[in-house]
Amino acid sequence: MVCGHESPMTATRQRKRSNLKRLILPAVAIVYLAYFGFWAFHGHYGIWAKARFESEAASLNAELVDLTSQRTALERRVALLRSDAVDQDLLDEQARQALNLLQPNDLVIDTAQQQNR
């Protein structure tokens, strides 16, 4: 050591950078993008779920229109049965159906026999 030469122990060894270490960050980014991309299409609120929601909304709107018309018809019938404006024919029809009674001058037509012919 006196002559100025360095001993072999003080030399540093340079390592060559591995190609694998260079690919870690892009690989992780690709995995994250693939994960979120998959769920953007297939998730509960994804792109394909939007079409399903729209078709369900259309069918529910059609059902709403049908139920609204049924309700209007029922409200009309209830209005006829109110005490201030009772329709005598409707009241008579409802009473006969509920009590299963006839007057002596009523004519009964059996529709079950006509359907069997």
Better-predicted residue by pLDDT, 28 or 1: 28
87 falls within a domain: yes
Q: Is 81 within 8 Å of 91 (Cβ atoms)?
A: yes
Mean of per-residue pLDDT scores for the chain: 82
pLDDT in tens, 35-73: 999 999 888 888 889 989 999 999 999 999 999 999 999
User: What confidence score (pLDDT) does residue 63 get?
Assistant: 97
21 falls within a domain: no
107 falls within a domain: no
**Lowest-pLDDT choice from 12-16, 20-24, 44-48, 76-80:** 12-16
32 falls within a domain: no
53 falls within a domain: yes
Q: Is 34 within 8 Å of 28 (Cβ atoms)?
A: no
- 3-class DSSP state for residue 4? coil
DSSP 38-100: HHHHHSTTSHHHHHHHHHHHHHHHHHHHHHHHHHHHHHHHHHHHSGGG--HHHHHHHHHHHHT
Distance CA 64, CA 60 (A): 6
Domain residues for the domain of 80 are 45-100
What's the number of domains the chain is made of? Answer: 1
Task: Give this prediction's pTM.
Answer: 0.45
User: What confidence score (pLDDT) does residue 96 get?
Assistant: 81
User: What confidence score (pLDDT) does residue 32 get?
Assistant: 96
User: What confidence score (pLDDT) does residue 56 get?
Assistant: 95
User: What confidence score (pLDDT) does residue 3 get?
Assistant: 57
55 falls within a domain: yes
